[in-house]
Amino acid sequence: MTMAASFYAALSSSARQAFTDAGVPREFVPESVIFAQGSPAHSVAIVLDGHAKIVRHAAAGRDTLLAIRSSGRLLGVEELDDLGERLRRRSATLALTRVRALVIEKGRFFQVLHDRGSGMSALLTEMRNNVLEYQARATSMNTDSVKQRLAKALLALLPREPGQAVPGPGRIVHNLTQADLAQLIGAARETVERTLGEWRTANILITDYRSVVVLSPGRLLRLIGLDEDGHPLHHLTPLARNPRTSGPEV
C-alpha cells in the first residue's frame, strides 16, 4: 500500500498559516480524550506532533482499536460528510502518546478549505489515505497469516523520513500495548505475545513495557514477501506462507 503525504504535509505554506489562524492549539497527555464517542462532531483536529488512536466503544464494554494517526494526519475527518447539528461521533479519539494538535471548528475549517486551493486537495489526500488504510486492513484480514499482519503493522508504525519507502530500524509508537496490537490486526493477544516472543528470540526486535524496538525491518519485510527495498520477492519464505492455503503456520 502506497500512502500519499499527510494532510498537513500536502498543504501550501499559506494554507498552513490559515489553518493555524483558524484553530486553537491544544496538548493532550497519553490516554486523554481528544474527541469522545457520541459527542457532537463540531470540530476537527490536525495532529502536529505525537500519535492518536481511534477506538470504538461497544455496549458490552469491549473496545476496538480502529486506527492509529500520526503527525500531520487529520482527526475527525470521518464525520465531515454530514454537517447536521445532531451528528454524533461514531468513535472516540484518544491520545496514544503526548499529542500536540490544532483543533478547528468545522465552519472555520470549511471556510479555509474554500479559500485555499491546496486545502481541498489535502483533504482528498487524507480521505484517500484513510480508504487505502481500511481497504488494506480488510484485505490483510482475509489473506494474510497473523504473523504477516503483525509484521505489516509493525512496519507501518516505524518512523520514517518523508519520501522514505522502507523504514529503517527504530522504536514504534510508545504506549502501544500488546492488546492494542492484537486489536489492530484482529488476533488474540496471546498469539501476538507468542509471536513477539519468537521474534525477540530471533533478534528481530526487542520488547519492553509498552515498547517495541525493531532491530531488523528487513526480516519483517521478507515475511510479507518484500525485499529490503520494498520490492516483491519471487518466493515467500516459509514464515510468510498463508496458513489458509499452505498448511499449518510455523
pLDDT at 84: 47
Higher pLDDT, 164 or 231: 231
How confident is the prediction for the chain on average, in pLDDT? 85
Mean pLDDT throughout 63-83?
Answer: 81
Quick one: cell of 175? 504506549
Q: Is the dihedral of CA 173, 31, 77, 17 positive or negative?
A: negative
For residue 113, the surrounding DSSP H or E stretch is: helix 106-115
Mean pLDDT throughout 200-217?
Answer: 91
Mean pLDDT throughout 226-249?
Answer: 59
- 161: pLDDT confidence band, cut at 50, 70 and 90? confident
- Distance CA(116)–CA(232), nearest Å, equals 39
**Number of CB atoms found within 10 A of residue 188's CB:** 11
For the chain, list the domains and their CATH numbers: 13-133 (2.60.120.10), 145-246 (1.10.10.10)
Task: Report pLDDT digits (tens) over 18-68.
Answer: 999 999 999 999 999 999 999 988 899 999 999 999 999 887 777 889 999
* Beta-ladder partners of 33: 94
Mean pLDDT throughout 223-247?
Answer: 65
